[in-house]
Amino acid sequence: MGRYAFGVDIGGTTVKLGFFDEEGHLLEKWEIPTVTDGEGAAILPDVAESIQAKMREKGIGSDDVAGVGVGAPGAIDSEGLLVGGAVNLGWGVFNVAKVLNGYLDLPVKAANDANAAAFGEMWQGGGKGYSNLVAVTLGTGVGGGIIVGGEILTGAAGAGGEIGHIHIEDDETESCNCGHRGCLEQYASATGIVRLARRRLAKDDKESVLRQGELTAKAVFDALKAGDPVAEEIAEQFGEYLGKGLSVVAAVVNPEIFVIGGGVSKAGDILLKYVEPAFQKYVFGPCKNAKFALATLGNDAGIYGAAGLVLNERMGAGADD
Amino acid sequence: MGRYAFGVDIGGTTVKLGFFDEEGHLLEKWEIPTVTDGEGAAILPDVAESIQAKMREKGIGSDDVAGVGVGAPGAIDSEGLLVGGAVNLGWGVFNVAKVLNGYLDLPVKAANDANAAAFGEMWQGGGKGYSNLVAVTLGTGVGGGIIVGGEILTGAAGAGGEIGHIHIEDDETESCNCGHRGCLEQYASATGIVRLARRRLAKDDKESVLRQGELTAKAVFDALKAGDPVAEEIAEQFGEYLGKGLSVVAAVVNPEIFVIGGGVSKAGDILLKYVEPAFQKYVFGPCKNAKFALATLGNDAGIYGAAGLVLNERMGAGADD
């Protein structure tokens, strides 16, 4: 068992890498470009080379490294298989853990990037100390990662925790990216908040700072903090949808804590003020003690979680040889 | 490791007991009354006595028995603790596994009865061969049990899988037993189906056999099988609610299969004909391959699952000493 681990978070434009000690401290982090040409065939060799270079730089050998964890966009099952490929990397279906293990003589574990980020928040972030956790990422879309008993809930096809696509509104007329209508993502993502704002502003002529400048989720929360009453109505609607959606998640997996991250969560604690009351309004009694916290690792959640996959014995996905 | 196991399913009026071999064959089953007087203090001693009597009858000792599994109504966490007591047994908060282990010199594991039944259907019933499963019980209420990676998802407070209380309808005016309005249970339980039928019949005067006799869920499905068009409308509404609700569950835990049991499921395959299309209409793409099956163990699911808890090494709840 080595004293170090690497965490890798593969995104569409850059790959983030982190070098961790066995207690989970991030000792160093860096990035390399994601080369998606040629069906992304260079991505994992580039990752392997970057890790080997870092090992040489640090003067450490294979015996010093517990392993490498990788998070990538796309559904990855508990064996490390990228079930449906990853369009924005150019990747088809293959076993990410096994291939990287083939380039590196180190144990490798792989997970979906949102699931890895959830694991990171449990291990060293806003959910530290909990082992039953739901991480909610409010960005362009709504992502999620579920940890049950200290392990990622990957599901049958690696699509566990896709809470952005739970049906929450019967009367929606616009389509979600997934093709359905009325998904949670249509109201609780940054894009969704803009949709709610746009609709509210079109309803009447009530004065609001939101009528000037670009309409963004950040603008809505800034206006809310400045006491804008229209922004408050929009925040209440957002909170109603997200709180209702998370009440459904709570009845299914009964988590100890929800950890809210992603760009929208930069609004801070004020966001929880609108989500928690709505959650309490809908949640099944025995599940009502779920706590709410903000994510603390930001963009590093993915590398933390990936490293955590190999340092935390409770997680078992990947190629161990 | 013994060659036998006992499965116990504690209900409000009777306790069901089963004697199993290590391959999971039910060798014998019997019942004893549930004595709820005096805060149900006699229940576990009665269970212990009944098991010891059976062991004497069979001429087997402690070494021959792998253990005893117990399912009981109420939220039971992964340690065997009855988190919120069990009102209809007269029980307060205590560790069911540890107390029964104190009466019997055998390993004991405990789980919520719906979760135990789900485990039974996975182990020897309609979900055999799958390890990511959601069991749905359509009875007076709607219960659920979720199996992830071969283990019961108990959740933080033993309330995992309470899918009857996911919010599914914003416009409901009647209250659910849980105090909220618009829970899945209000439309997909036997009582819920009667509610849908009552409302449909009140809407107009369209002819239907359901206007005679007692209005029950069974009557609705019998009328459906006889080609009654009003019954078909009701079945479509039921299927729409249940399919929509299960699509939400699928986005959260991404199961391989839904196993539908409980009294309402006695209607047979025709029930799935109304649920699956609605499920497909709402489900997030990557989760759409979930299969549907009917439960096969009936009222024995609980004793199967309880015995399975001790025979199946993957489940870890309870007192092992």
Q: Quick one: A289 and A214 in the same domain?
A: yes
Q: Quick one: A34 and A154 in the same domain?
A: no
Q: Quick one: B159 and B277 in the same domain?
A: yes
A73 touches chain B (CB under 8 A): no
Q: What is the CA angle A298-A302-A307, rounded to 5? A: 125
* pLDDT score, position A91: 94
The verdict on residue B117 lying in a domain is no
The verdict on residue A135 lying in a domain is yes
| Phi, psi (degrees; rounded to nearest 5) at A140 | -55, -40
Count of residues making up chain A: 321
Confidence of residue A105 (pLDDT cuts 50, 70, 90): confident
Confidence of residue A158 (pLDDT cuts 50, 70, 90): confident
Beta strand residue intervals within chain A, DSSP E: 4-10, 14-21, 26-33, 65-72, 108-112, 133-138, 142-148, 151-152, 257-261, 291-294
Measured between beta carbons, the chain B residues lying within 8 angstroms of A279 are none
The verdict on residue A320 lying in a domain is no
The verdict on residue B320 lying in a domain is no
Q: Quick one: B163 and B268 in the same domain?
A: yes
Confidence of residue A318 (pLDDT cuts 50, 70, 90): very low
CA distance linking residue A15 with residue A301, whole number of Å = 13
Contact yes or no for A286 and B161 at CB 8 A: no
CA distance linking residue A186 with residue A188, whole number of Å = 6
Helix (H/G/I), strand (E/B), else coil: A175: coil
User: Helices (DSSP H) in A161-313: which residue ranges?
Assistant: 185-188, 190-203, 217-225, 229-253, 269-282, 301-311
* Antiparallel, parallel or unpaired: β A257-261 and A291-294: parallel
> A233: exposed, middle or buried (C-beta count within 10 Å: 0-12, 13-18, 19+)?
middle
Domain count for chain B, please give it: 2
Q: Quick one: A230 and A242 in the same domain?
A: yes
Instruction: Record the tokens describing residue A162, joined without a space.
Output: 């896709």
Q: Quick one: B260 and B284 in the same domain?
A: yes
* pLDDT score, position B117: 95
* ipTM of this complex prediction, to 2 decimal places: 0.90
Gyration radius of chain B over CA positions: 20
Gyration radius of chain A over CA positions: 20
Nearest chain A Cα to B250, which residue?
A160
Interface test with B, best of A130, A167, A252, A292 (most B CBs within 10 A): A252
Q: Is the pLDDT of residue A313 over 70?
A: no
DSSP A134: E
Q: Quick one: B72 and B145 in the same domain?
A: no
For chain B, report the end-to-end CA distance as a whole number of angstroms.
Answer: 13
CA distance linking residue A152 with residue A313, whole number of Å = 12
Contact yes or no for A155 and B248 at CB 8 A: no
Interface test with A, best of B148, B171, B244, B288 (most A CBs within 10 A): B148
Handedness of CA B247, B248, B254, B259 (dihedral sign): negative
* pLDDT score, position B78: 84
Q: Which residue has the tokens 């929360």?
A: A221
The verdict on residue A166 lying in a domain is yes
Confidence of residue A314 (pLDDT cuts 50, 70, 90): very low
Q: Which residue has the tokens 């704002």?
A: A197
Instruction: Record the tokens describing residue B224, joined without a space.
Output: 């459906």
Q: Is the pLDDT of residue A123 over 70?
A: yes
Higher-pLDDT residue of A195, A74: A195
CA distance linking residue B152 with residue B317, whole number of Å = 9
B290 touches chain A (CB under 8 A): yes
Q: Quick one: B102 and B130 in the same domain?
A: no
Q: Quick one: A232 and A137 in the same domain?
A: yes
Q: Quick one: A205 and A286 in the same domain?
A: yes
Contact yes or no for A161 and B286 at CB 8 A: no
Q: Average the pLDDT over A234-253 and give the result.
A: 98
B215 touches chain A (CB under 8 A): no
* pLDDT score, position B102: 96
The verdict on residue B182 lying in a domain is yes
B157/chain A closest Cα distance in angstroms: 7
Q: pTM of the prediction?
A: 0.91
A253 touches chain B (CB under 8 A): yes
CATH of the domain at A211: 3.30.420.40
Q: Quick one: B244 and B285 in the same domain?
A: yes
Q: Which of A78, A148, A251 sits opposite B165 (nearest CB)?
A: A251
* pLDDT score, position A315: 42
Q: What is the mean pLDDT of each run of 10 residues along chain B (321 residues)?
A: 90 95 96 95 97 97 96 90 88 95 95 94 96 94 94 91 95 93 96 97 96 96 97 98 98 97 94 97 94 96 96 54 39
The verdict on residue B119 lying in a domain is no
**pLDDT single digits (tens) A50-85:** 999 999 999 999 999 999 999 998 889 888 999 888
B59 touches chain A (CB under 8 A): no
Q: Quick one: B154 and B198 in the same domain?
A: yes
Contact yes or no for B149 and A151 at CB 8 A: yes
**pLDDT single digits (tens) A15-51:** 999 999 999 999 999 999 999 999 999 999 999 999 9
The verdict on residue A316 lying in a domain is no
Domain limits for position B54: 4-112+306-311
CA distance linking residue A140 with residue A300, whole number of Å = 18
Helix (H/G/I), strand (E/B), else coil: B22: coil
Measured between beta carbons, the chain A residues lying within 8 angstroms of B84 are 286
